[in-house]
Structure 1
Amino acid sequence: MKLNLQQIPRVKTITKEEFIKNYFKPQKPVVIERFIEDWPAYSKWSLDYMKDIAGDKVVPLYDDRPVDYKDGFNEPHAKMKMSEYVDLLKKEPTKYRIFLWNILKEVPSLQKDFSYPDFGLKLMKSLPMLFFGGANSHTFMHYDIDLANIFHFHFEGKKQCILFDQKQSNFLYKIPHSLIVREDIDFSNPDFEKWPALKKAEGYITELEHGNILYMPEGYWHYMKYVTPGFSMSLRSIAKKPKNLGKAIYNVFIMRHYDNLMRKIKGQKWIDWKNEQAIVRTHRKNHIL
């Protein structure tokens, strides 16, 4: 048995009007295949180019170890020079990923290689973020703290993306007071005996290649698995739906700080309780004994 996933629709290119009408207003994902071929980044950006231009930069690395109460919010598991990291990616599979690497801050010259596309949404120009990963490395299923509309531009390699909208949260074993689901679920090959509620979840899947853009609507859950070593850039636009904007404000100003406080007070017991509650609450909502 497999997850109930439909292929994300794909278009070669798109106008602003088509995007707003067909994808933004109904909040549906889409892959745009050939929109950025006039960007210098399209032909220039590769792992080798990043090694050349940012080789001496020390980058934060993350793997797929479970959350520990001692870890700060988004605290890296290791650090390495970009040149060493690219060499590692090319040499062997590695769990180490880079995420939320702000290129404006780290390598300002890279901003000359791309422009902010006009999809009819105002993009946050201070937050172009890069994400890197080695073969078979993956992110946990999560949604972003600000529930933004995300445009994910992929460079080099192949990447599998699995998405769910917020209506599927009751089936995904969401961890309370956080933005992730149970970290021991393998969404590329889930164990339905262990996680029976996943049978009810309905989502989307696609594979990104060089030059593809994935639009992820507001608050969509996403799981990213690097089929081969590669990297992507995300641009974002603030949540427009009042409910999502309210949730984003709550996450940033209340939920995150409450969770950090409870980690300090209760330590690992807090993490263990949340993991247990993810199962208890999901099974209760789905009448699974």
Structure 2
Amino acid sequence: MPGGKELSGPAQGSGAQSPTPLVPAPSASTLWADLQALLPRTREGLQLDFGEAVESSVVLLLQQTADLLYGEGGSLNSCLRLSEIVLDYSWEKLNIGKWRDVDKEWRRVYAYGCLFKALCLCHDGGAVAEAVRTCDLGLLMGASILDNVLARVIGVLQPHLPRPKRPMAGDVKEPLPKKIRPGSEDVPAIKAPERIVRLRCPSLEYFRDNFLLPQKPVILEGVVDHWPCMKKWSVEYIRRVAGSRTVPVEVGSRYTDEEWSQTLMSVDDFISQYIENENHTGYLAQHQLFDQIPELKQDIGIPDYCCLGKGEEDDITVNAWFGPAGTISPLHQDPQQNFLVQVLGRKYLHLYSPAQSEKLYPHEGHLLHNTSQVDVEEPDLASFPQFETAEAQTCILSPGQVLFIPVQYWHYVRALDTSFSVSFWWS
């Protein structure tokens, strides 16, 4: 195997022996040059070494694909075919058994397969949208490689994407019917004894002594007003910045419904199918969104009060929650402290302290042990009689407000409008 070959480009071999040469057309040469700048200068710099879990035949396929990319007369068809073989095989490895048991080496293999396929797809300037989708799958399912090269490849490709087109009627797959609670458009009344305390920019010491240490919920105002997202974000802005990106979407009004499922789709399709269609519901809820789409990440910050925790900033989990009115998070509890920041729309919340757990009837079994069986707004008191005496705190969270939800506090959430929230889990 020849060593030290440099990545092929417009000025190198003609590839005349192949009907689809691995040399960019003149119109694509600028894009290819920008992609070349992200990659190691020689094939050896790709670091195609893997642990014992990965068969040598798979490593050989990756090496052959790399040789085609870095060679002087390679076939684009052959390169694409080899990368897809690697992806098909590694995909099976990722989907056998439980995700936590997947060897990270197979996630690296999948990421390299995505990288090589994306390079083949956009090598001649075409199929850029499919190349971006391929990189997104690598970011979602693979492991970070070459200093997060997949995210950087997307950054180069995005200016070459066509503007997202809104699908015509009948072009999108029909989702499951939305279950909207009757009267969900009405703003619920909040009884005075149940109201959560609201404070404007309390000091770190005051928050620590009066809410963090005693574990009491509070709504903070004025602490995120300076975040760019508070002025910039709208449904159209999110579509413009991230419309072409592929993300996981939860289909259904709540995760405890029998018909609830998960799927992958573009942000543009999600907005068209679920945000703009008032008869359907789906939720974009994931912790990787801001790492996947840095244009959104740069518009948010970390609440200053997180510095009172025991961990480092890198230990904070940042989650995105984007969905239509009527979407519900059933009554549940989380294993960490939570700052829920409301950016777009309003949410209606019920909170219960861990001391109320016996009255909230958690599901039996490990899978949903942190979720209540009770429908908070329409409880079946014949089946769950103690719930009637459970003491709740309620609020309507509006844009710019931050709700502190102490660890293990039960909370129920219903979106009153099209809503985008950002939550920060910290210890």
TM-score by length of 1: 0.72
| Aligned counterpart, 1:201 | 390
Q: What is residue 229 of structure 2 aligned with on the other side?
A: 41
C-alpha distance after superposition, 1:152-187 (max 9, x if no partner) = 1111111111111211110011012221111xx321
What's the secondary structure of 1:116's corresponding residue?
coil
Matches within 5 A, 1:34-183: 34-62=222-250, 63=252, 64=254, 66=256, 76-87=261-272, 88-119=274-305, 120-122=307-309, 124-125=313-314, 127-144=317-334, 147-176=335-364, 177=366, 178-182=369-373
Counterparts of 1:96 and 1:164 in 2: how far apart (Å)? 26
1:49–1:60 distance in 2 versus 1, CA, 3 Å: same
2:397 and 2:279 mapped to 1: Cα distance?
A: 19
Q: What residue in structure 1 maps to residue 161 of structure 2?
A: none
Q: CA deviation at 1:76?
A: 4.6
Q: Kindly state the Cα deviation for residue 192 of structure 1 after the two structures are TM-superposed.
A: 2.4
Question: Contact 1:149/1:216 (CA < 8 Å) preserved in 2?
Answer: yes
Other-structure match for 1:255: none
- CA RMSD of the aligned region, Å? 2.5
Report the Cα offset of residue 38 of structure 1. Answer: 1.1
Cα deviation 1:26-69 (Å, max 9, x = unaligned): 1000111221111111111222222111111222222226466x
**Which amino acid is the alignment partner of residue 371 of structure 2?**
I
* 8 A contact 2:347–2:416 mirrored in 1: yes
**Whole-angstrom CA distance in 1 between matches of 2:408 and 2:313:** 16
Partner of 1:21: 209
- Which residue in the other structure is 2:419 paired with? 230
Instruction: Compute the displacement of 1:93 (Å).
Output: 4.5
One-letter code aligned to 1:99:
A
Distance 2:190 2:303 in 1: 33
Following the alignment from structure 2 to structure 1, what is the Cα–Cα distance between the partners of residues 225 and 263?
34
Structure 2: gaps spanning 5 or more residues: 1-188
Structure 1 unaligned regions, length at least 5: 239-289
Render the CA deviation track for 1:124-144: whole Å, top value 9, x for unaligned. Answer: 435211011211110111112
Query: Counterparts of 2:282 and 2:234 in 1: how far apart (Å)?
Result: 18
In the alignment, is the contact (CA less than 8 A) between 1:60 and 1:76 conserved in 2?
no
**What letter corresponds to residue 349 of structure 2 in structure 1?**
C
Q: Which has the larger Rg? A: 2
The alignment of Structure 1 onto Structure 2 pairs a total of residues equal to 228
Q: Which moved more, 1:189-198 or 1:37-46?
A: 189-198
Distance 1:136 1:114, change over 3 A: same
- Give the Cα separation in 2 of the matches to 1:102 and 1:46: 20
The corresponding residue for 2:378 is 189
Partner SS for 2:271: helix
The 3 A distance-change label for structure 1 pair 165 and 222 is same
1:121–1:237 Cα contact (<8 Å) kept:
no
Q: Secondary structure at the match of 1:52?
A: helix
Report the CA distance between 1:77 and its aligned residue: 2.5
Q: Could you say if the C-alpha distance between residues 94 and 222 of structure 1 is closer, same or farther in structure 2, counting changes exceeding 3 Å?
A: farther
Percent identity at matched positions? 26
Instruction: Give the AA of the match of 1:90.
Output: E
| Counterpart-to-counterpart distance in 2, 1:152 and 1:93 | 27
CA 1:101 to 1:53, structure 2 compared with 1: closer, same or farther past 3 Å?
A: farther
Q: Which amino acid aligns with 1:110?
A: L
Encode CA deviations 1:109-136: one digit per residue, 9 max, x unaligned.
3222122222142464352110112111
- 1:261 is aligned to none
Normalized per residue, which structure has more strand? 1
Structure 2 CA distance for aligned equivalents of residues 103 and 49 of structure 1: 15
Q: Deviations over 1:224-249 (max 9, x none)?
A: 100111110011211xxxxxxxxxxx
Separation in 2 of the partners of 1:66 and 1:186?
11
